[in-house]
Amino acid sequence: MENNAFSRPQRQSAKGILLITVVNFGKFLKAIWPLYLFVFFKQNEYQWLMMLALTALPFLFFAVISYFQYRNFSYFINTKTGEFVIRSGIINKKTISIEKIKIQEVNINQPFIHKVLNIFKLEIDTPGSDTKEVRVNAISYQNALDLKNYLLENRGSAVLTTDQTQLLSAPPPENKVSISIASLLKYGLTANYLKSFLAIIAFAFYMGKNAIEFLKEQSAEDFIVENRKAFAVALLENFSVLGIAGFICLIFLMGIVVNVILNLVMYFNMRITKNSSRLSLEYGLINTKHVIIAPHKVQMVIEIQNFIQKKINILHLKFRQVSGEEDHKELHNSIPGCSKTERNDFLKFIWKILPQYQYSLKPHPRTLIISSLIFVGIPIIISIFVHSIFKEYFWLILLYGVLAELMLIASFRNSRLYYNEYFLCLKSGIWDIEKKTVEYQKIQSIKVSQYIWQRKNDLGSVHFFTAGGKISFRSTRFSKIKKLVNYGLFKVESDQNHWM
């Protein structure tokens, strides 16, 4: 690449005209699809001519608009200031200039339409925005890589120098790691199956509701109501408790299959490239994503692993970066199915060391007692008072009580807040054990709370807020919380490193 490759304004790929046309026409179809249905079902000798006109004329209109959008869109690097500049607009002209030092993320993605056209989408994100600040929707892969390398490297320098441009064509040595299909299969078989099971149940209820509405329209409702007892008897005679259990197991297995397929499609061919300054993730079968993880921007690291995954040596690793909202999924970059060795390598790359914890806080036993009363005791007491209603199903109430109590005990035993000189780690969960780890220097604020009735027992809660989410721990020794908070504030104030 020439040194001044991006110093002159340049347009997107010409294929962007077709891309913008398809996107705009898709929005048009989404807005007027009822009109298409009306014309389609209306009996008229000009029916197909009207359908053609409704399709061709808007498409041509959006093609013209897209061409002018393409012609008026340009991007370049200001060699004097080092800013990345975007110019766009047909009638109302708009210019966006972004300083390198304010750039938070540069991602290269390839959604399905882009994959068909063999082009890529480059997205630039800056702090203070929940959406991508700037998009270059149609760009070649090499240009996207070159731009990303420049925008993320040496951001303390404001001017595009010869050394920086040479760096783009001669990147530092890289270490590549691949997540195999076997690892993705193991992960898909052992993770999120409960979520998939509940999703299938919800879908079944949705379809059942629609089926009932259909039967109502077909005047079958009265027939069903009149013969509901016969239907109930037939159901019990043909489907025993064992049969119903088998049916539930079948749905559960379907959930596992769906989860495996979704994970393979989402994380297919995941390649992780590690160089001296960042991790680069590239994955996806239908929509290809290419994201960057810079160590100094990682606000929180999340590890998720259950008992089975621990035995087969896989876990789910998430890197949460700067986000306006905790549920901003695009900034929760995930590496599913990585081994313990790979996990250790990634954490050493992010933090230079592996956290070892000497101290911990645990919740007070009264937390378990109160939870048991709310989620186990009260439901059983209510079922006793309405025994006449639940008489035939009382054994289910008892089964619920036993299972709920076991889950509460597991949650209590797994709830811990670990800390050492540099890190905080919150451990929680019942089956899938989640560990959230943050550095003290990433903490932006701390909130301590104590209710009046907690003072006598020296109990309280603490919340650590970061730009990537928060860590909360409740009902533990308040005297220990105060010491931890004081030390945390000392580390934040005395640490010379920046939070991002």
- Say if 105 falls within a structural domain: yes
Residues 199, 148 share a domain: no
Residues 186, 156 share a domain: no
Q: Which of residues 133, 153, 171 is at a domain's end?
A: 171
The domain of 145 spans 15-171
- Say if 57 falls within a structural domain: yes
Residues 188, 259 share a domain: yes
> What confidence tens digit (pLDDT) does each residue in 433-481 have?
999 999 998 898 899 998 888 888 889 999 999 888 889 999 899 999 9
Residue 425 scores a pLDDT above 90: yes
Residues 251, 187 share a domain: yes
- Say if 28 falls within a structural domain: yes
Q: Decide: pTM greater than 0.85.
A: no
- Say if 149 falls within a structural domain: yes
What CA–CA distance (Å, rounded) separates 447 from 469? 14
Residues 191, 140 share a domain: no
Residues 163, 19 share a domain: yes
Residues 245, 221 share a domain: yes
Residue 56 scores a pLDDT above 80: yes
DSSP lists the bridge partners of residue 228 as none
> What confidence tens digit (pLDDT) does each residue in 194-253 have?
666 565 666 565 555 555 554 455 444 454 455 555 555 555 555 555 666 676 677 777
Residues 261, 409 share a domain: no
- Say if 443 falls within a structural domain: no
- Say if 69 falls within a structural domain: yes
Residues 109, 21 share a domain: yes
The number of domains in the chain is 3
pLDDT bin (cut points 50, 70, 90) of residue 377 is confident
Closest CA to 12 of 147, 196, 103: 147
Residues 223, 163 share a domain: no
- The edge-to-edge listing of strands for the beta sheet with 74-77 is 74-77, 84-88, 94-98
Residues 164, 184 share a domain: no
pLDDT value of position 87: 87
Sequence-distant contacts of 194-201: CB under 8 A, at least 24 apart: 194/255, 194/431, 195/255, 195/259, 196/255, 196/256, 196/258, 196/259, 196/262, 197/251, 197/252, 197/255, 198/255, 199/255, 199/258, 200/251, 200/254, 200/255, 200/258, 201/251
> What confidence tens digit (pLDDT) does each residue in 303-322 have?
999 988 899 999 999 998 77
What CA–CA distance (Å, rounded) separates 381 from 386? 9
Residue 85 scores a pLDDT above 90: no
Q: Which of residues 142, 171, 200 is at a domain's end?
A: 171
- Say if 479 falls within a structural domain: no
Residue 498 scores a pLDDT above 70: no
Residues 249, 190 share a domain: yes
- Say if 273 falls within a structural domain: yes
Q: Which of residues 116, 139, 171 is at a domain's end?
A: 171
What letter does residue 377 receive in the DSSP assignment?
I
